[in-house]
Amino acid sequence: MSDFNYRDGGLWAEGVPLEQIAEQFGTPTYVYSRAHYEKQYLDYADALGNHPGLICYAVKANSNLGILSLLAQLGAGFDIVSGGELERVLLAGGDPSRIVFSGVGKTADEMRRALEVGVHCFNVESEAEMARLEQVAAECGVRAPVSLRVNPDVDAKTHPYISTGLKENKFGIAIDGAVEVYRRAAGSAHLKVIGVDCHIGSQLTEIAPFLDALDRLLILIDQLADAGIQLEHLDLGGGLGVRYRGEEPPPVSDYLNAVKERLGDRQLGLVLEPGRSIAANGGLLLTRVEFLKRAEEHNFAIVDAAMNDNLRPALYQAWQDIVPVVPDSGETEIWDIVGPVCETGDFLGKNRSLALQQGQLLAMMSAGAYGFTMSSNYNSRPRAAEVLVDGDRTYLVRARETVEDLVRGESPVPERAPAKA
């Protein structure tokens, strides 16, 4: 059963009608189901079973402290890509020793802070980054735990913007030259080689590309073992897809069972960095129809959420279902659901068959991942509220932004001073 269901003529989030949430917190509002996030995380944890390793939720998918805290309470690890994400995890009660630090552009300050709190490992993406990490670790008088992110050059067969494991992508170290880089890392007094990492892309709906990548990593791991470099873990990144519109991604257990089988008798822990598959279908974006506009070519429903709230349709032509909170019995028509932002690319959905009325509430589904986290203040729109539902309780986990929030840190300048003589 989904955590968003129609009941008594309206759409509910767990035990709370969305109409009530709109009334209490206004719109646009992101609504999350606690049960969904827990279930999805536990799916991974169960599939890993007794195998040593970590399920490191990819914070970038949804970094609200409410979400991070509920995952921390379940003992989750976290995959972070910035100092900001690190602080969020710590504020949410996450265990630093279960954090993996990914990302191609870590600053020295970020490295220092991560060493200070004791992250599990740095996923190092280039030799230049390795040199910087070595230096920072030396300054701190510690050994930095490292895993090299290698680029296995496999095609994830997903949208080009979210495909990351091909040679032409900016991510990772080419797998062919990796042994040499490992040798150097292993020889350093300030680096401790502990793993290998890859992440080939996002929204994968088949297991095969993951296994292709794994096979290439295993060859590398065996070469390293021959060279006397024993790794403790293998990190396969995130990437498992979800159903937005008819996709049928494999169950997590199928994926992990296939991986464990391939590992054979190698003593290797497994790290995974799932984001979307934990978060996407645990959230929706609640929005209200402001105006209906029937034009010659198109019918437009102008709603109070926009591309600044959910960029995915504009950026990737992504499809997310848009459904009425209280279905209208009127005749359906074909609508483009658009926001108030001054861009033609500002749409949430095109060609949607709906019976609409002004003032009606709509829910944009599958918005729990890469929704709020990619939102902005474009057009000086305060960002949406975020509400977490737990059974029949609601928690405002992020208040709607105000105008004060919008201009925080900005200041007008005084009138132009006369030129100095």
Torsion of CA 362, 364, 368, 372, to 10 degrees: -80
Residue 370 annotated in ligand binding? yes
Q: What contacts 68, CB < 8 A, 6 or more positions away?
A: 57, 59, 78, 88, 89, 91, 92, 94
Q: Is 342 tagged catalytic?
A: yes
Shortest Å distance, C-beta 122 to ligand LLP: 12
* Nearest residue to 276 via CA among 21, 40, 74: 40
**Nearest residue (CB) to ligand LLP, 171 versus 182:** 171
Helices (H) and strands (E) in the chain, counts: 12, 21
Shortest Å distance, C-beta 273 to ligand LLP: 4
* Nearest residue to 276 via CA among 125, 74, 77, 61: 61
Spell out a b/e string for 388-402, using b for 16 or more CB atoms within 10 Å of the CB, else e: bbbeeebeebbebbe
Residue 386 annotated in ligand binding? no
- Phi and psi torsions of 390, nearest 5°: -135, 100
| Tokens at 18, concatenated | 């969305």
Shortest Å distance, C-beta 189 to ligand LLP: 28
**Nearest residue (CB) to ligand LLP, 275 versus 324:** 275
How far is residue 348's CA from residue 326's CA, in Å, rounded to a whole number? 19
Residue 324 annotated in ligand binding? no
**Nearest residue (CB) to ligand LLP, 366 versus 394:** 366
Shortest Å distance, C-beta 347 to ligand LLP: 16
**Nearest residue (CB) to ligand LLP, 66 versus 201:** 201
Shortest Å distance, C-beta 129 to ligand LLP: 14
**Nearest residue (CB) to ligand LLP, 238 versus 283:** 238
Residue 273 annotated in ligand binding? yes
Over its C-alpha atoms, the chain yields an Rg (Å, rounded) of 23
Binding site for ligand LLP (CB under 6 A): 58, 61, 79, 102, 162, 199, 202-203, 237-239, 273-277, 312, 316, 370, 374
Q: Which residue minimizes CB distance to ligand LLP?
A: 238
**Nearest residue (CB) to ligand LLP, 200 versus 289:** 200
Distances (CA, A) of 106 to 22, 70, 200, 281: 40, 27, 20, 30
Shortest Å distance, C-beta 168 to ligand LLP: 16
Residue 275 annotated in ligand binding? yes
Residue that the structure tokens 């030129």 belong to: 419
Q: Which residues lie across from 99 on neighbouring strands?
A: 78
Cis amide bond preceding 274, omega within 30:
no
Instruction: Give the three-state DSSP class for 118.
Output: coil
How far is residue 204's CA from residue 247's CA, in Å, rounded to a whole number? 10
Catalytic option among 56, 140, 198, 342: 342
**Nearest residue (CB) to ligand LLP, 105 versus 359:** 105
Shortest Å distance, C-beta 292 to ligand LLP: 29
List of long-range contacts for 88-96, beta carbons under 8 Å, 24+ apart: 88/59, 88/63, 89/59, 90/117, 91/65, 92/65, 92/68, 93/69, 94/68, 96/120
Shortest Å distance, C-beta 203 to ligand LLP: 6
How far is residue 371's CA from residue 307's CA, in Å, rounded to a whole number? 10
Residue 276 annotated in ligand binding? yes
**Nearest residue (CB) to ligand LLP, 66 versus 239:** 239
Annotated binding site: 239, 273-276, 312, 316, 343, 370
Annotated binding site for pyridoxal 5'-phosphate: 239, 273-276, 370
Catalytic residue annotation: 342
Annotated binding site for substrate: 276, 312, 316, 343, 370
